[in-house]
Structure 1
Amino acid sequence: MSEQNTAEPVSPQDREYLHRCVALAAEALAEGDEPFGSVLVDPRGEVLFEDRNRVKDGDGTRHPEFEIARWAAANVAPGERSGCVVYTSGEHCPMCSAAHAWVGLGGIVYAVSSEQLTAWRSGWGIPPGPVTPLPIRAVAPDIPVSGPDPVLAAEVRVLHARRHGVDESN
């Protein structure tokens, strides 16, 4: 069964945070980077930390989800981490899923799945990345997951199409 069939749907409240993630992804794209953005939210709904992709200079580990895990490890008490949620424009890669689980963060809500992104890239003739795009639950099976969000998927697709020079105006 695919991740899309096992994840919970995105709520209207979740979508508010996902809008910020998509804005961060657009910011990353404007800076010449891969279009991904993420925010860490505490149980009260306060955004604790946010970041965007920063891999353009050659460090492929500078994903915003990984940066969130590192920031949380240094700044959020271990007993409070499981109540925090990471919102992200794209589903965590295996590296970020593992970091999320090792740090002990709570749920993950994403706008588009790895399955969607992989299908888009394949359809555009873009070769696959260096790491197999596993769903979050294949790496960290106990993390609650919500997504993808059909409302934001088209917007995220446009960002990725632009990144790869794909004209989807047809």
Structure 2
Amino acid sequence: MTPVTPPTPDDLVHLRRCVELAREALDDGDEPFGSVLVDADGVVRFEDRNRVQGGDATRHPEFEIARWAATHLTPEERRGAVVYTSGEHCAMCSAAHAWVGLGPIVYAASTTQLLGWLEEWGVAPGPVRPLAIGEVAPGVVVRGPAYELEVEVRALHARLHGVA
């Protein structure tokens, strides 16, 4: 499994945008997750937020990024791109990321953090085993969590679960 390292100061710029997208999702009645795809030149190529409220539980922004990248980027461009996200990829999104051949993943909050918050609030975990990215896609370089954003991300999830 690839070791996880902290995000860089440059990563925080994109992670803050992910948290903004997560807030937009929550404000629209959805779960608070947001993600950004940045190419090797540092250009934002695609961004999205969670859209599962309509009943399609696969409408995670990380999965949408994988779909978009597979259609719009060459394999070389995908390898050089970085996916930034407010929360560590779930198993479905980690697999999609690896299958499409995207580069590193940088996240604000980890699966471990989210599980701890949910347990603290008495909220049951979702229907899929909560695995770290490295357990699903061991070859993907990962940076995170960004402890600078923990309070903000936690507050969004608290609001979702009515504990804010």
Q: TM above 0.5, one fold?
A: yes
CA distance in 2, matches of 1:110, 1:82: 18
Per the TM alignment, residue 128 of structure 1 is displaced from its structure 2 partner at its CA by: 1.1
Structure-to-structure mapping, 1:1-150, within 5 angstroms: 6-150=3-147
Match of 2:54, SS state, is coil
**In structure 2, what residue type is equivalent to 1:124?**
W
**Structure 1: which 4+ aligned runs deviate by more than 4 Å?**
none
Q: Give unpaired runs (5+ residues) of structure 1.
A: none
**Match in the other structure for 1:158:** 155
Per the TM alignment, residue 78 of structure 1 is displaced from its structure 2 partner at its CA by: 1.3
Per the TM alignment, residue 23 of structure 1 is displaced from its structure 2 partner at its CA by: 0.1
- Say how many residue pairs are matched: 164
Given the two structures, how large is their TM-score scaled by the length of structure 1? Answer: 0.95
Q: Output one character per residue of 1:102-149: Cα deviation in whole Å (capped at 9) or x when no partner.
A: 000000000000010011001100011000110000000010000000
Q: Give unpaired runs (5+ residues) of structure 2.
A: none
**In structure 2, what residue type is equivalent to 1:84?**
A
Per the TM alignment, residue 63 of structure 1 is displaced from its structure 2 partner at its CA by: 0.1
**In structure 1, what residue type is equivalent to 2:106?**
V
Q: In percent, how many aligned pairs have the same letter?
A: 65
Given the two structures, how large is their TM-score scaled by the length of structure 2? Answer: 0.98
Match of 2:26, SS state, is helix
